[in-house]
């Protein structure tokens, strides 16, 4: 959605950190934009111009897997090359943006028809329009001026995503996800999240005074393992239903929580939770909370890869639901 004018902060999905971050909006005077941009870029992005079709050939990344298109004005990542398709219109066309956060939409009734304008969410550059006649899976066609975007190649690291789960004692949860190292999971670490105390230590978290949950943060390659697959494992390894056990008590450090990093992760998590509840395999209500990720405090070193260091499969205590 369009950002209300006058708002100075905006949430943008960063492909470098794989999470949504609050950043300042970029505002410049006309004169400043003129200095930064070519006359054609200025005319299109700042004056809402349209370039002639088939005139400017949009550069293609050398490595198509890693190509992204960023805003010509402010560098915000807007589209992946993988979502580009040949529409025949003469303008670069995409079926989805990198994140709904990175573009904003505005009704546009110029030219005697009602269209939806697409803008860069960070600097309000005019990018083009979005139409409802695109290919699956979204059915959308983002029709973008080539002058509004610049092609860039991502580093490997920038292709990775993060996921954060709390599902009981973090030793066992980390061990379960470490079985996927080399199969899409890149790294894991255990820590504390979701509470109010800064820099918590294990003892405080166990006492329940910090509000933090024990959690595992994963870095994964979404092209090797999907968020859906991670969620399947998340619900497999613990009982997330309300049985009155202390493990899933909503305030306990052992509560069941999905800390989503992007609106897409939130959407998938909510849909999967519903699906699991409706499948009939769960006798009780699933009490997993789905909340936006917060600051993650890595746990003390001796908790990291706890089972692995001790050569055990389970700590044998009652901490694992
Ligand atoms: Zn921009």
Domains observed in the chain: 9-153 (2.170.150.20), 160-310 (3.30.1060.10)
Cα-Cα-Cα-Cα torsion 291, 292, 295, 296, nearest 10 degrees, comes to 60
Provide the CA 131 distance to its chain's centre, in angstroms: 24
Identify the pLDDT of residue 132: 96
CA of 126 to the centre of ligand 1 (A): 9
- Residue 254 is encoded by which pair of tokens? 């052992």
| Res. 51: pLDDT tops 60 | yes
pLDDT over 90, % of the chain: 62
8 A C-beta contact, residue 265 and residue 273 = no
Active site residues: 143, 169
Confidence of residue 321 (pLDDT cuts 50, 70, 90): very low
Mean pLDDT of 195-210: 91
8 A C-beta contact, residue 63 and residue 152 = no
- Residue 271 is encoded by which pair of tokens? 């849909």
Confidence of residue 2 (pLDDT cuts 50, 70, 90): very low
User: Between these two residues, 15 and 17, which has the higher pLDDT value?
Assistant: 15
CA of 45 to the centre of ligand 1 (A): 9
Count CB-CB contacts under 10 A for residue 10: 21
pLDDT in tens, 257-269: 999 998 889 989 9
> Which residues place a Cβ less than 5 A from the ion ligand 1?
71, 73-74, 76, 120, 122-123, 125
Give the helix/strand (H/E) hosting 32: helix 30-36
8 A C-beta contact, residue 67 and residue 151 = yes
CA of 309 to the centre of ligand 1 (A): 47
pLDDT in tens, 148-173: 999 988 776 667 889 999 998 899 99
CA of 26 to the centre of ligand 1 (A): 8
Full strand arrangement of the beta sheet holding 67-71 = 77-80, 67-71, 149-153
CA of 143 to the centre of ligand 1 (A): 16
CA of 175 to the centre of ligand 1 (A): 42
CA of 181 to the centre of ligand 1 (A): 36
CA of 82 to the centre of ligand 1 (A): 20
Identify the pLDDT of residue 17: 76
Residue 229 makes CB contacts below 8 A (sequence gap 6+) with 184
């Amino acid at each position: 959605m369009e950002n209300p004018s006058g708002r100075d902060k905006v949430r943008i999905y960063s492909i470098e950190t794989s999470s949504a971050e609050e950043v300042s909006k970029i505002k410049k005077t006309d004169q400043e934009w003129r200095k930064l941009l070519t006359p054609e870029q200025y005319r299109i992005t700042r004056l809402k111009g349209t370039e002639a079709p088939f005139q400017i050939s949009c550069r293609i990344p050398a490595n198509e897997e890693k190509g992204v298109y960023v805003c010509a004005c402010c560098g915000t990542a807007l589209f992946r090359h993988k979502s580009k398709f040949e529409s025949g219109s003469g303008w670069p066309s995409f079926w989805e943006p990198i994140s709904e956060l990175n573009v904003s939409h505005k009704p546009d009734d110029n030219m005697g028809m009602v269209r939806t304008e697409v803008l860069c969410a960070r600097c309000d550059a005019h990018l083009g329009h979005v139409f409802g006649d695109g290919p699956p899976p979204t059915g959308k066609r983002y029709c973008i001026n080539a002058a509004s975007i610049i092609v860039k190649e991502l580093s490997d690291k920038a292709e990775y995503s993060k996921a954060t789960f709390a599902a009981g004692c973090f030793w066992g949860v980390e061990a379960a996800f470490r079985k996927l190292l080399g199969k899409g999971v890149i790294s894991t670490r255990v820590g504390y999240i979701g509470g109010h105390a800064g820099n918590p230590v294990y003892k405080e978290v166990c006492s329940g005074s910090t509000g933090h949950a024990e959690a595992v943060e994963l870095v994964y390659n979404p092209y090797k393992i999907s968020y859906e697959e991670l969620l399947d494992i998340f619900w497999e390894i613990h009982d997330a239903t309300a049985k009155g056990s202390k493990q899933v008590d909503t305030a306990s450090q052992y509560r069941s929580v999905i800390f989503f990093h992007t609106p897409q992760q939130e959407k998938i998590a909510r849909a999967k939770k519903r699906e699991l509840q409706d499948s009939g395999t769960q006798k009780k209500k699933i009490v997993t909370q789905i909340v936006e990720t917060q600051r993650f405090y890595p746990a003390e070193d001796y908790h990291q890869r706890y089972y692995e260091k001790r050569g055990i499969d389970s700590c044998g205590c009652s901490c694992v639901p």
